[in-house]
Structure 1
Amino acid sequence: MAIPYLSSFKVEDLHFDRKNPRLAEFSKEDKTSDEEILRLLWEVMAVDEIVLSIAASGFFPHEQLIVIEEKNGKEQKLVVVEGNRRLAAVKAILEPNLIEGLLNERVVLNVSSAIKQTLHELPAIKVSSREEAWRFIGFKHINGAAKWSSYAKAQYIAQIHKEFGIPLKEIALQIGDTNQTVQKLYQSYRVIQQAEEKRVFNTADVLGSRLFFSHLFTGLSYEGIQKYLQIQKENIDYPIPDNKLEDLGEFLVWLFGSKFRKISPIVQSQNPDLRRLDAVLKNTEATILLKDGSPLIYAYEVSQPKKDIFEQSLVAAKKELQKANSYSSITYDGSLEALQIAGDVAELADALYEFMEKRFTEQQKQNDGPKKRVTS
């Protein structure tokens, strides 16, 4: 194995890493050009903040890149496996036209000519392979100042485990996470891979600009979702049994949507949507309604005890009426339409209160029972 060494490399000879897990949730195309990757990094990974740092203090020599030489197409190229954001910042400073039209593009104009002159070559450690590189990267690469998303971290863990045979426990020690967290991240990533391998889901079909992997990572810890998908906790590489793969594909569309089918994800946030989905999947009737296209909120109400829905509705109605009342003195302009709506609300409230009062009185009588003569 060659000994890693620190040297300087021309910026024009350094290329972005198309296997960078941090790009996976935004792009599935391995043939993406360096220019496209630069624009993507600028848009989603706050490269402009690094530009401002360089403008103020220059490029810190102790923040060297890590590079490997590997085949890219027909050529051998120097690929940056650690420091893609910093490389993007420098390339943008040297060639501002590469980020033309993007948000905060003008920050590159803050970099002085003197600093620009120092940026044509960058310090980097050259290693012989990705297997060697991952140990150099370790904690800093994943849990550093610009922390990775859960999806990027999961993909990186899977990549290291599969390609180099590194045990998950050892990866956990190296990146500074607990063994349990690494196991869960890996299992969640394998769920997506299983779905893609069996062609019941495609990450390129996700609706929106990114895949919100944290919804899946969190959801797989919920009891209702675990039972619905029949998660095999002991089989970390193939957590979903074959008979549940079709359900898995549909479940992932609920989480992430589908561009091709023009379906929006029903989970917009983990709270309350993900918990509501978990509750629905615990109830057979509610699950059938959801699979038939009913809105999540309706299926959720069906899954809940009727008493809970009744009491929650009362609380919600009170809250909304309090809000309307607080605005009435400054916004009500005397319109008949608004007054009629308020009248309808009042009639509904009166009818509801009369019914509840009657039921309450009847209950009290039953509890008290017939009056008896008091004797000594």
Structure 2
Amino acid sequence: MDWDQIVGVKKTELVDVELLDFDTKNPRFTPDKRPDKDTDLAIVAELARTADLSELVQSIGTSGYINIEPLVVVVRDGKLVVLEGNRRLAALKALRNEELALHAKLTAPEFDDEVRATMDNILVYRVEHEEDARELIGFKHINGPQAWDAFAKATFAARWLDSQANEERPLKLVDIAARMGDKHATIHRMVTAYYVLMQAEDLEVFHMDDRYKRAFSFSHLYTGLSYSEFTDYLGMPRPQRDQDPSKNPVTPEYHEKLGYVLTWLYGSKEREVQPVVRSQNPDLGRVREVLKSKSGTKVLEQTSHLEDALITATPKDLRFSKHVVEANGQLRLALETLDGFDPGTQSELQEIVASASKRIQVIKATVDSQMADFEDFSEE
């Protein structure tokens, strides 16, 4: 098809919606939001699940489609692909095709022929190259009203950075981030983590599709890599904001450890290993503590059991102090509710109290003895 006859480069024209194709490389399609096939049926269903499509369907179905902001399109592989506006295209396709709506579990309002006619020809703006639309798309979805999730932002920025290989004056990542409206170096952290993840995929030490949970918490990785404990464990240099991150930041001697880190964060469905980081707070901080200890790290590598590793990593004196403080707090609470003791229904507590008393006496005797020895030694 001669697309120049339908819409010229750098031109805005009304185009039959049936001629428009989804962008199957859309950064919005992150590991947990990726359609299982590159078909309209699968893409509309996935956008309905993850991108609040129902609200847009209701709005357009009720009032009709308003051609104010054009979709941004490019010719790719002989198709007119929508780079910006895939969500709007999905809503239009669902409203025009009952099968798509039913499969996506979308309920469309009833509308008349006049409303239907607004969905036939859609205003589009054609760019010559995909990079021509980057700044508009990047700014809109990084800090704009339709912000992508973290992995989508990282994917978009990394693709932008990688595409400049043959350019005379390529932009640095800090410049790309600025054009995307990022003022806090967040994009740099995200792209660093993205490259680590892609390296793990290439090395086959980890696969995103093998993660234990459907949800993909990309923030676990880019937050973890902002801590020296994680980068030191992986042998990575500390990220420098004024330098572009390396595409293969983990050297061969640390490849196995890269697999460990990603399994701790995301688990493995195939091996039935759950992630040790259930929630970023406090689990990511607890892994940091483990990585400070060689023995604790070894336990985590061998067992993927965070509690055991943390115990091993924590010196006995700190564990003792922690347990005593916690026990004292619990005893204080028990004392405050002592009038709740019912000898008729809680007689078994007498044995438990006796056992606790003996333990307290042993602890007190040991502490008193060692304190006395310490004081005698100090006076000599």
Q: Does the TM-score normalized on the shorter chain lie above 0.5?
A: yes
Q: How does 1:305-320 map to 2 (within 5 A)?
A: 305-314=315-324
Q: State the match for 2:97 in structure 1.
A: 95
Q: State the match for 1:246 in structure 2.
A: 256
Gaps of 5+ in 1: 370-376
Q: 1:57 to 1:329 in 2, by over 3 A?
A: farther
Structure 1 residues 77-114: Cα deviation after superposition (integer angstroms, max 9, x where no partner): 121111112222222222243243656x33x2366664
Counterpart contact for 1:25–1:152, Cα < 8 Å:
no
Matched, 1:354 2:354: no
Q: How does 1:94-133 map to 2 (within 5 A)?
A: 94-100=96-102, 105-106=106-107, 108-109=108-109, 114-133=114-133
Deviation at 1:158, TM superposition (A): 0.9
Counterpart contact for 1:215–1:255, Cα < 8 Å:
yes
Instruction: From 68, 73, 93, give the equivalent of 1:67.
Output: 73
Deviation at 1:283, TM superposition (A): 0.8
Counterpart contact for 2:135–2:179, Cα < 8 Å:
yes
Deviation at 1:316, TM superposition (A): 5.3
Point out the more displaced range, 240-249 or 289-298: 289-298
Counterpart contact for 1:280–1:303, Cα < 8 Å:
yes
Task: Describe the SS at the equivalent of 1:24.
Answer: coil
Q: 1:321 to 1:25 in 2, by over 3 A?
A: farther
Q: How does 1:270-309 map to 2 (within 5 A)?
A: 270-309=280-319
Deviation at 1:120, TM superposition (A): 2.4
Distance 1:50 1:30 in 2: 23
Deviation at 1:217, TM superposition (A): 0.3
Structure 1 residues 221-268: Cα deviation after superposition (integer angstroms, max 9, x where no partner): 112111110112476222111110111012111111222222221111
Deviation at 1:315, TM superposition (A): 5.6
Matched, 1:214 2:219: yes
Deviation at 1:345, TM superposition (A): 4.6
Q: State the match for 1:85 in structure 2.
A: 87
Q: State the match for 2:24 in structure 1.
A: 18
Structure 1 residues 249-303: Cα deviation after superposition (integer angstroms, max 9, x where no partner): 1211111122222222111111111111111111111111111115111111221
Task: Describe the SS at the equivalent of 2:123.
Answer: strand
Q: How much is the aligned-residue C-alpha RMSD, in angstroms?
A: 3.5
Deviation at 1:128, TM superposition (A): 1.4
Q: State the match for 2:5 in structure 1.
A: none
Distance 1:54 1:323 in 2: 59
Q: State the match for 1:175 in structure 2.
A: 180
Distance 2:338 2:28 in 1: 50
Structure 1 residues 96-143: Cα deviation after superposition (integer angstroms, max 9, x where no partner): 43243656x33x236666434322222221111211121332311332
Distance 1:123 1:354 in 2: 82
Q: State the match for 2:42 in structure 1.
A: 36
Distance 1:343 1:360 in 2: 26
| Letter of the structure 2 residue corresponding to residue 241 of structure 1 | T
Q: How does 1:145-164 map to 2 (within 5 A)?
A: 145-164=145-164
Q: 1:253 to 1:50 in 2, by over 3 A?
A: same
Task: Describe the SS at the equivalent of 2:159.
Answer: helix
Distance 1:126 1:287 in 2: 54
TM-score normalized by the length of structure 2: 0.81
Counterpart contact for 2:33–2:50, Cα < 8 Å:
no
Q: 1:363 to 1:65 in 2, by over 3 A?
A: same
Instruction: Calculate percent identity across the aligned residue pairs.
Output: 33
Q: 1:287 to 1:67 in 2, by over 3 A?
A: same
Distance 2:264 2:110 in 1: 45
Q: State the match for 1:374 in structure 2.
A: none
Counterpart contact for 1:232–1:240, Cα < 8 Å:
no
Q: 1:178 to 1:109 in 2, by over 3 A?
A: same
Deviation at 1:16, TM superposition (A): 1.3
Distance 1:24 1:55 in 2: 28
Q: State the match for 1:373 in structure 2.
A: none
Task: Describe the SS at the equivalent of 1:122.
Answer: strand
Distance 1:296 1:80 in 2: 45
Gaps of 5+ in 2: 1-7, 240-244
Counterpart contact for 1:82–1:141, Cα < 8 Å:
no
Counterpart contact for 2:34–2:46, Cα < 8 Å:
no
Deviation at 1:19, TM superposition (A): 0.6
| Letter of the structure 2 residue corresponding to residue 189 of structure 1 | Y
